[in-house]
Structure 1
Amino acid sequence: MTATTVPRGTPAPTPDEHGDHTPAEVRSRSLGLLASLLRPVTRRAVLTALVVVVAQLALVAGPALVALGIDRGIPALRSGDAGPLFLVAGGYAVTALVAGVFTAATVRMAATVSQAVLLDLRGRVFRHTQRLSLEFHERYTSGRIISRQTSDLDALRELLDGGVTTLAASGLAMVFTAVGLTVLDWRSGLVLLVAVVPGVVLTRWFQVRSQAQYRRSRTAVARVIVRFVETMTGIRAVQAFRREQQVAAVYDVEAEEYREANAEAIRVNGVFDTGLVLIGNVTVAAVLLVGGLRVLDGALDVGVLVAAVLYARRFFAPLAQIGMFYNSFQSATAALEKLSGLLAQEPTVADPVHPVRLREPRGDVRFDGVEFGYGDGPAVLPRLDLHVPSGQTVALVGETGAGKSTVAKLLARFYDPRAGAVRLDGVDLREIDPRDLRTAMVMVTQEAYLFSGSVAANIALGRPGAGQAEIERAARAVGVHDLLASLPDGYDTDVDTRGVRLSAGQRQLVSFARAFLADPAVLVLDEATSSLDIPGEQLVQEGLRTLLTGRTAVVIAHRLSTVMHADRVLVVDDGRIVEDGSPEALVAAGGRFATLHAQWQESLRST
């Protein structure tokens, strides 16, 4: 996937699932995804289709048995022979029972198939979304991803749960009904055939109108979901700037568009349903009139007329179901296109073809002629040569946008360089086994995200399978054990999403304990203390010193309280290192770092 160049500070557009693909290519991709989903359940799907056929044959046999009972059973009963009538009645009961049992089996079997398909697809979307590179997630809004997992999967569920079987059952019902009526009385079948013409015209009109309406509805609901998710995610900014009314006004406009789309779809459905009912009733009247006149002339039996009327009444109900299926089909088609587009996205950071194991990493880091830019944009790092020996703590400072966080992302291999190589212990990161790389290198950011669950589970994220003693040892090492032990349920205390029960400093200490438990050879800290107040920062600094001891560390920070403990400071400007030395040496040299240091000292005196 190639990113689109945008000016700095401008939100990047989200990637399009369709990209540069033609409609035919998109359709082919969607069908390919559907085929791969149906392949594991082919046998069950075929069995379901056979059950549908039996159920529809049993249903269509009913009117023919009614005709037989009236024309053969009743005259025999008048002659004192009740056998034929009981036989017909028994046959009708059996066919009704078979139809009921097989219809129920159809529903159950179709649900089994659809749920198996949806389980497979839901897992694919989740696993694939996790596998995609950071570049994708930084540009693809969370609301759109949630829409793929919710409304798009729901659209497919509606189609698979009953839509496909409804289409098959309706189509078979119409064919079997027409054949049954033609066999009984071809003239009545001809009347039905004539009535099919306006029914088909009306159905086609409905398909054209509903296609546009349902696509409009899907687009509108996706916008509503995205707007809601993004507003709730950024609720602090919304409330901080008192933008509730403005955001609500935008949401109201999008919700109104969704309402209008649904209202128009309902109107189209109403016209379609009313038209089918009218055509059906006129057809029944025509069959009854033509057949009745023939009964009076003795050219048609009464039982056959009754069966013809029943068949005519049954014929148009499936047509209405087919029309409604088209709605679900359009919605599901659009959803499948979006899902297949998401699954077609490829990670920009690919796993190595022949991974190199790094079982005992030392933590020696090198940037050899590294050039990097986001997507097709200008180079953020024109050329970077840097060596960080094992066990050294290096701090990167500089203005916002200088390229510090880009260095951290390349080191954590969230991105790959355009040219040159980032090496760990002499091995290009692109060649290291991903499992060994994630073990050898851990990145801690300013967000300190805590997942819903216990405090212990959040710390154990650093090393799944760690015992309670190891978790507590990590917490003690960074100075957060006493706090966690004092919680209502100790380490078993649940934290809410984003850890709202803990302060920013406490959450950061938990993330440090997580990193300590992981025990990486290389630790990357990206603005890990930028969101803390002074007391919170002092609390974290003690844990930070413990965390950095004995390992290679690359620290990115605006606050010099973190930087002054580093072995080495790099001042970065426009992607280039302009100063390099120990904190004391750079202060004495009187350069840019010395200016930053003087400003920091002045801020401490003023507080």
Structure 2
Amino acid sequence: MSADLEWQGVGDDDQEVTRAAGLRLARSARRLVGSLLRPHRGGVALALLILVLENAVMLTGPLLVALAIDTGVPAALDGRPGELAWAIVGYAACGLASAGLRAGFLLLSGRIGQDVLLELRRRVFTHAQRLALEWHESYTSGRLISRLTSDLESIDDLLETGLDGLLGALLSLGGITVLLLVIDPVLAGVVLAGFVPLVLLTRWFQRSSRASYRLTRTWVARVIVHFVESMNGIRAVQAYRREARNESIMDQLNGRYRDANAAALLTLSWFVASVRAVGNVTLALVLLIGALRVTDGALELGALTAFLLYLRRFYDPLDQLAQFLNAYQSAAAALEKLASVLDTPETVPEPEHPQPLRARGELEFDEVTFAYPRRWSSPQAPSPRAPERPVLPELSLHVPAGQTVALVGATGAGKTTIAKLAARFHDPTSGRVLLDGVDLRSLADDDLRRALVMVTQDPFLFSGSVADNVALGRPSATRAEIEAALAAVGAEFVQDLPEGVDTDVRKRSGRLSAGQRQLVSLARVVLADPAVVLLDEATSSLDIPSERAVQAALETVLADRTALIIAHRLSTVAIADRVLVLERGRIVQDGTPRELLATDGDFARLHAAWESSLR
């Protein structure tokens, strides 16, 4: 299978953008920029004022040169050096003032730019954490990393030159154009005639470079995705000798990224070369016509000198403008990608007016139906697509406070979906999920997370100490409370670690076994002290000794708490007060383990098959 085929399905974000979708993205990007700059309106206005003053000072210099040549030098030859001296002092003062204003502008614009980047990075990170699990599964972490790295770097490049490159260039062009018309309208007409090809070139550059930079943002995202996936799966890569295949894919992706960058740079090079060609031709014509006018006495030599100095400065801003347009097109493509993430709606938003909760642990599913979306939509139309066939056709279930309920059934029966709905990772398609009589959609997220904790098959431990990871359940816990929680679940292995509870678990908790990681996650639950615990196949990946240790810990964890246990290993079901057997999202059996074993039903057959597998 080719690398291109492997990369099908990366996401609509990485497909060619249609014109209509491109317009929507551009509008979203403009709204984003407006919201980011709005708090800095005063600073932007001050920076603009400084820039205007700097350009005014800069434009004064050639006038002083003309004054010195046409008036100061003749006066000095007549024994009156004062006028020449004042012109020279004025020129030096303009240079010093320009340098000071430039320093002030760079400091102010730099601070504004960094504040904007900080806010943008914060928004994307905060919003991404709130988005649905399905969005993260389809978008991939590598693409999100690309948004927060390479895309932000493009915006940083623009902010460094944005006000200066655009506003500075426009102010210079406007001021110089007026001065050229004042000095000599004939020569100014020659210069303005050169604007016709410049306008056409600029329009071509805008269209071509935008398309090129959209491709560069797409391909750099794919490079990062592949890199992150390869490093995250490094054990499988080395175990299955996939290094050569990964290198081949990276070579192809890198090549596409290189070609996209080359196309963007080629567009820029043609634009800059064409602008300079127009400028050089115009300069030659001005020099020829100006020399003839000086010879005829229609123009002073000093005025021609000032005109040529201004003309030289006239094309310098065009170079700056070209660089700005280049940075702008790259940043605009990056802003579109970032705006598409920020425009993606939260599927489980917090209520505007949350209801209070006194958590006891009573769970109820009231005529709940649920279907996963067929595929998460593109960022150009950020909303879930039409749902699939319901995973839960219509579920009504009451779990009294303090009851331990085991959910069993074949893969795809809906067990994990029930747990995700109880944890409000999703909202039901119809119906209600209630905790102590309150719809989960009416609860503040903090209240729900304090009342309910989920323990998964492969618990995630963050880099840091064992104590830090246990304290995730209650960050304000004392050292004694953390150690007590570990002791409560029988995590005696901590005593054998080099630094006890202060031992760093390392990246992906590589220092701990699967059973030890699970005990740490259960200690989190003890410390958090929730009313409801959801266990999603918490022992399915453990060996027999580890499973027994975790089973013993579960007796402590589940005491006096409501629990939903999803288990394939039916040894875990033995601690349940009640067993629900699911088939295609429907409850087909409901009773105690003893009652269900006494019948000739699905649970009895599952239990018999499990016992047979142990022989």
Give yes or no for the alignment of 1:465 onto 2:450: no
What's the secondary structure of 1:461's corresponding residue? helix
CA contact (8 A) 2:161 2:324 kept: no
132-141 vs 381-390, greater mean Cα deviation: 132-141
Give yes or no for the alignment of 1:549 onto 2:545: no
CA contact (8 A) 1:441 1:520 kept: yes
Deviations 1:125-179 (A, max 9, x none): 1222222233433333222222222222222222222123211111111121222
Matched ranges for 1:379-394 at <5 A: 379-394=390-405
Distance across 1 between alignment mates of 2:587 and 2:231: 40
Distance across 2 between alignment mates of 1:68 and 1:77: 12
Q: 1:21 to 1:187 in 2, by over 3 A?
A: closer
Q: 1:19 to 1:199 in 2, by over 3 A?
A: closer
Give yes or no for the alignment of 1:528 onto 2:528: no
Q: Percent identity?
A: 53
Give yes or no for the alignment of 1:566 onto 2:572: no
Matched ranges for 1:59-70 at <5 A: 59-70=58-69
Q: State the Cα distance separating 1:401 from its structure 2 match.
A: 0.8
Counterpart residue number, 1:599: 609
Q: 1:352 to 1:295 in 2, by over 3 A?
A: closer
Q: State the Cα distance separating 1:577 from its structure 2 match.
A: 1.7
Counterpart residue type for residue 55 of structure 2: Q
CA contact (8 A) 1:368 1:420 kept: yes
Q: State the Cα distance separating 1:478 from its structure 2 match.
A: 0.8
Q: 1:151 to 1:489 in 2, by over 3 A?
A: same
CA contact (8 A) 1:365 1:390 kept: yes
Counterpart residue type for residue 569 of structure 1: V
Q: State the Cα distance separating 1:341 from its structure 2 match.
A: 2.3
Match of 2:529 among 496, 502, 519: 519
Counterpart residue type for residue 80 of structure 2: D
CA contact (8 A) 1:195 1:279 kept: yes
Give yes or no for the alignment of 1:477 onto 2:484: no
CA contact (8 A) 2:206 2:329 kept: no
Q: State the Cα distance separating 1:95 from its structure 2 match.
A: 0.7
Distance across 2 between alignment mates of 1:201 and 1:22: 25
Q: State the Cα distance separating 1:204 from its structure 2 match.
A: 3.2
Distance across 1 between alignment mates of 2:416 and 2:427: 14
What's the secondary structure of 1:578's corresponding residue? strand
What's the secondary structure of 2:194's corresponding residue? helix
Give yes or no for the alignment of 1:107 onto 2:106: yes
What's the secondary structure of 1:495's corresponding residue? coil
Deviations 1:496-530 (A, max 9, x none): 23211111111111111111111111100011122
Q: State the Cα distance separating 1:400 from its structure 2 match.
A: 0.9
Matched ranges for 1:91-490 at <5 A: 91-359=90-358, 361-375=359-373, 376-480=387-491, 482-490=492-500
Distance across 2 between alignment mates of 1:68 and 1:381: 87
Q: State the Cα distance separating 1:473 from its structure 2 match.
A: 0.7
Q: 1:145 to 1:534 in 2, by over 3 A?
A: same
Q: 1:14 to 1:514 in 2, by over 3 A?
A: farther
CA contact (8 A) 1:394 1:568 kept: yes
Q: State the Cα distance separating 1:560 from its structure 2 match.
A: 1.7
Distance across 2 between alignment mates of 1:66 and 1:546: 89
Q: State the Cα distance separating 1:63 from its structure 2 match.
A: 1.4
Distance across 1 between alignment mates of 2:200 and 2:403: 78
What's the secondary structure of 2:575's corresponding residue? coil
TM-score under structure 1 length normalisation: 0.92
Distance across 2 between alignment mates of 1:19 and 1:365: 47
Deviations 1:549-594 (A, max 9, x none): 2211111011122122222222211111222222233223243222
Distance across 1 between alignment mates of 2:9 and 2:551: 35
What's the secondary structure of 1:550's corresponding residue? coil
Count of equivalent residues: 593
CA contact (8 A) 1:477 1:543 kept: yes
Counterpart residue number, 1:497: 507
Counterpart residue type for residue 160 of structure 2: D
283-292 vs 445-454, greater mean Cα deviation: 283-292
CA contact (8 A) 1:135 1:415 kept: no
Q: Over aligned residue pairs, what C-alpha RMSD do you find?
A: 2.3
What's the secondary structure of 1:378's corresponding residue? coil
Q: State the Cα distance separating 1:19 from its structure 2 match.
A: 12
Q: 1:391 to 1:210 in 2, by over 3 A?
A: same
Distance across 2 between alignment mates of 1:401 and 1:202: 59
Distance across 1 between alignment mates of 2:449 and 2:210: 47
Distance across 2 between alignment mates of 1:557 and 1:12: 32
Q: State the Cα distance separating 1:104 from its structure 2 match.
A: 1.8
Q: 1:210 to 1:355 in 2, by over 3 A?
A: closer
Deviations 1:388-420 (A, max 9, x none): 222221111111111110011111111122222
Distance across 2 between alignment mates of 1:341 and 1:306: 52
Distance across 1 between alignment mates of 2:425 and 2:126: 17
Distance across 2 between alignment mates of 1:12 and 1:557: 32
Q: State the Cα distance separating 1:248 from its structure 2 match.
A: 2.6
Q: 1:194 to 1:385 in 2, by over 3 A?
A: closer
Counterpart residue type for residue 311 of structure 1: Y
Counterpart residue number, 2:376: none
Counterpart residue type for residue 27 of structure 2: S
Distance across 2 between alignment mates of 1:389 and 1:562: 20
Counterpart residue type for residue 105 of structure 2: T
Q: 1:154 to 1:447 in 2, by over 3 A?
A: same
CA contact (8 A) 1:15 1:139 kept: no
Deviations 1:270-309 (A, max 9, x none): 2223233333223222222222222233332222222122
CA contact (8 A) 1:207 1:323 kept: no
TM-score under structure 2 length normalisation: 0.91
Give yes or no for the alignment of 1:53 onto 2:52: yes
Distance across 1 between alignment mates of 2:213 and 2:413: 47
Counterpart residue type for residue 547 of structure 2: E
Structure 2: unaligned runs, 5 residues or longer: 1-7, 374-386
196-205 vs 213-222, greater mean Cα deviation: 196-205
308-317 vs 92-101, greater mean Cα deviation: 308-317
Q: 1:495 to 1:20 in 2, by over 3 A?
A: farther
Counterpart residue type for residue 432 of structure 1: L
Distance across 2 between alignment mates of 1:198 and 1:21: 29
CA contact (8 A) 2:165 2:323 kept: no
Q: State the Cα distance separating 1:239 from its structure 2 match.
A: 3.9
Counterpart residue number, 2:382: none
Counterpart residue number, 1:507: 517
